[in-house]
Amino acid sequence: MQKATFAGGCFWCMVSPFEEQPGIHGILSGYMGGTVENPTYEQVKTGKTGHLEVVEITFDPTIFPYEKLLELYWPQIDPTDDEGQYIDRGSQYRTAIFYHNEDQHKLALKSREELGNSGRFDKPIVTKIKPAVVFFPAEEYHQNYHIKNPKEYKEERSTSGRDAFGAQYWK
């Protein structure tokens, strides 16, 4: 098993694209990249902790290779927005790929370069690629939020702009 960690704005919206794929053994919402130990959601949402909202995926690379995770990741985000994602604004909602080994690092760099050269966007790709650091799981009520609170999740997702952006750029 390996870990993959992606920041893509609100972590609630980053779980479902990955969860039913073969070889995915777990997905946790949480925080990474900041300076505060064991941060709470209330602290992270201020944008002052340096943490990003992330999902940490446990996967079997022999069944679902890291490259496929990257292929799923990019269409979930606006990789040209460095101020947050969609309706969610602030540093805690920026995009990033946190790599766990050198192979992931190389593959992430290659996929970002390919996306930048694809002509899909007329602005530069700003998604950061950083080494993974300590992952702090989010509070229990954030885990599988889309399952626990389907009505609220559907409302949040439909008003966020995420799906409209995806339809426009990732047909």
pLDDT of 74-104, one tens digit each? 999 999 999 999 999 999 999 999 999 999 9
**pLDDT value at residue 116:** 97
pLDDT at 171 over 80: no
Token pair belonging to 105: 């690092």
- Could you state, in order of their start, the residue ranges of all structural domains in the chain? 2-166
Contact 151, 159 (CB under 8 A): no
- 13 is known as an active-site residue: no
Per the residue annotation, which of 7, 10, 14, 108 is the catalytic one? 10
Q: Model's pTM, two decimal places?
A: 0.95
Note the helical H segments in 21-149.
41-44, 66-73, 102-117, 145-148
**pLDDT value at residue 19:** 92
d(CA 107, CA 20) in angstroms, rounded, equals 23
pLDDT in tens, 23-37: 999 999 999 999 999
Amino acid present at 66: Y
Of the candidates 90, 92, 87, the residue with the CA atom closest to the CA atom of residue 33: 92
Fold topology of 2-166 = Peptide Methionine Sulfoxide Reductase; Chain A (3.30.1060)
